[in-house]
Amino acid sequence: MDFEDAGSDIVSVVVTAEQIAEGLARMAREIEADLSGKRPLMVGVLKGAVMVMADLARELTIDVEMDWMAVSSYGRSTKSSGVVRILKDLDSSLEGRHVLIVEDIVDSGVTLSWLLENFASRGAASIRVASLLRKPDAMSVDVPIDYLGFDIPNEFVVGYGLDFAERYRNLKGVGVLNPSVYSDGA
Ligand code: PRP
């Protein structure tokens, strides 16, 4: 889905599909430099990270494995409380593995902070983080991101995995959602 297909639902473009591809290529070169020969385990955080995982993994020139984790906070309003629960755990052991957590966005930082703490007890050789997007002005927890695509403004963005009520994940780029979409219950 392109921005024009979304009509007036997208009020401004934040990151284009071309910029995403460039960002992922830059991140991939950095990851290769650090993890070549280590067969990292990429851990995608469902559902938003599906697009990043698919494109970043294919951009990499090194051998990787992939696994998936699904987590949920107890509702948006309580997200800053840091209450996160596992909906789907990893299939793989992290023992001795070089782990690369793959995220679409770090917003408050709560999810990533919790994941890093959770993974730290599982015996990984190393844990790194790749996120396509970060909202510096929204972060309530300071979390390290080793490979970052873009810092973006603290606005309600959708696309490339990011949703509003499960919609717009399939937009090729990332854009600001028209407030009318979420204020009129559409
Ligand atoms: C999004 C995103 C991150 C998290 C970041 O997931 O994919 O996992 O929020 O937010 P935080 O930094 O404030 O914790 P979401 O919970 O919306 O689920 P989804 O990926 O299934 O859309």
Distance separating alpha carbons of residues 149 and 22, to the nearest angstrom: 9
Distance CA 24, CA 55 (A): 8
CATH architecture of 15-156: 3-Layer(aba) Sandwich (3.40)
Query: Does the C-beta of 55 come closer than 6 Å to ligand 1?
Result: no
Please, what is the average pLDDT of the chain?
A: 94
Tell me the C-alpha distance between 58 and 44, whole Å.
Answer: 14
How far from 54 is each of 3, 44, 102, CA to CA, in Å?
21, 9, 10
Q: What is the pLDDT of residues 31-77, one digit of tens each?
A: 999 999 999 999 999 999 999 999 999 999 999 999 999 998 765 55
Distance 111 CA to ligand 1 centre (A): 7
8 Å CB contact between 45 and 102:
yes
Mean pLDDT score, 120-144: 96
Q: Which atom of ligand 1 is nearest to the CA of 80?
A: 13
Residue 185 to residue 179: CA distance in whole angstroms: 10
Which whole number is the average pLDDT over 140-148?
95
Ligand 1 atom having least distance to the Cα of 138: 13
Nearest alpha-carbon partner for 105 in 182, 14, 26? 14
Type of residue at 121: S
Q: Where are the domains of the chain?
A: 15-156
pLDDT at 78: 44
Rg (the chain; Cα; Å): 16
Does 84 or 151 have the greater pLDDT score? 151
Q: Known catalytic residues?
A: 107
